[in-house]
A = this chain, B = another copy of it.
Amino acid sequence: MSGPHISRTIADLRAQVKEWRRQGLSVAMVPTMGALHDGHLSLMREALSRADRCIVSIFVNPTQFAPTEDLDKYPRQLERDLERLAEVGVQLAFTPSPDEVYPEGFATKVVVGGPSAGLETDFRPHFFEGVATVVSKLFLQATPDCAVFGQKDYQQLCVVRRMCRDLDIPVEIIGAPTVRDAHGLAMSSRNAYLDAGQLAIARQMNVILYSAAAAIAEGADPDKETASASRALLDAGFSNVDYVAVRESGSLGPWQPETEGRLLAAAWLGSTRLIDNVAIAARS
């Protein structure tokens, strides 16, 4: 099992992609912040099923963390991450330094409206500016044909899609289903922060969301269901709920019962913030 080629610079990444293009090969990308888990690996398998070569970027992007957030304690484990890339057969790991991505004098940001309104933005006001800016840069550095993002970060997926459409970045965005453990808990690098008691509580989140989404799909009032899901999260042991909300699945605008919806939630367990979301089937 040979490991991936490692590019630490944009120049090296571009040289590698250029050589692939010369050979007529297609290229997929999976942007990550490392701390890779089975959820990430499923994105890479999806990428490899769609293109000849897969680039995984591993970069803990400082601009999407607020000063109060967990940038410093965010899990970093490059050696183990590279082993996991080798397992799946990823051909290239792009592991730039912060200075390579944001050289001195850097002064530009990409700001996406539309799907970025509300939800995460109400609690992390500059988060999607950071995400949109770094993802547009990664796409323009690597110039892949497609990129795979997890539905776990559903609002992020919608924001990246909007950004590519709006800026005419010629990368097809693929949303891959959330990978869950045997109890339905969505895989997340932040699950590593949870102790055994918190883990048991965290595993209730998906149960509560699936139940509310089913009720809404069958005609229950969305406002009542999101309020009672929020109470159920607190009753289960979550220390705080940022939001439980229903949105239209594509634009993340207001939901109409005849269209496909999405139920999205964010809640805290101590100092760890977890998010999850599930589909609301369109009424037939």
Chain B hits for A251, CB < 8 A: 105
CB contacts under 8 Å to B, within A158-190, are 162-163, 165-170
Category for how many chain A residues contact B: 20 to 34
Chain B hits for A103, CB < 8 A: 165
Most buried by B among A108, A133, A141, A165: A108
Chain B hits for A107, CB < 8 A: 112-116, 162, 166
Chain B hits for A113, CB < 8 A: 107-109
Nearest CB in chain B to that of A114: its residue: B107
Cβ-defined contact, A105 with B114, below 8 A:
yes
Q: In the complex, how many angstroms separate the beta carbon of A134 from the nearest chain B beta carbon?
A: 10
Chain B hits for A140, CB < 8 A: 167-170
Question: Copies per complex?
Answer: 2
CB-CB under 8 A for A137 and B105, given A110-B110, A111-B111: no
Does A51 touch B at the CB level, under 8 Å?
no
Chain B hits for A10, CB < 8 A: 168
Q: How far is the CA of A106 from the CA of B105 in the complex (A)?
A: 29
Does A91 touch B at the CB level, under 8 Å?
no
Q: How far is the CA of A239 from the CA of B113 in the complex (A)?
A: 39
Cβ-defined contact, B162 with A105, below 8 A:
yes
A-side residues, CB < 8 A to B, are 10, 103, 105-116, 132-133, 136-137, 140-141, 162-163, 165-170, 251
- Report, nearest first, the 4 A-B pairs whose CB atoms are least far apart: A107-B114, A108-B166, A107-B113, A140-B168
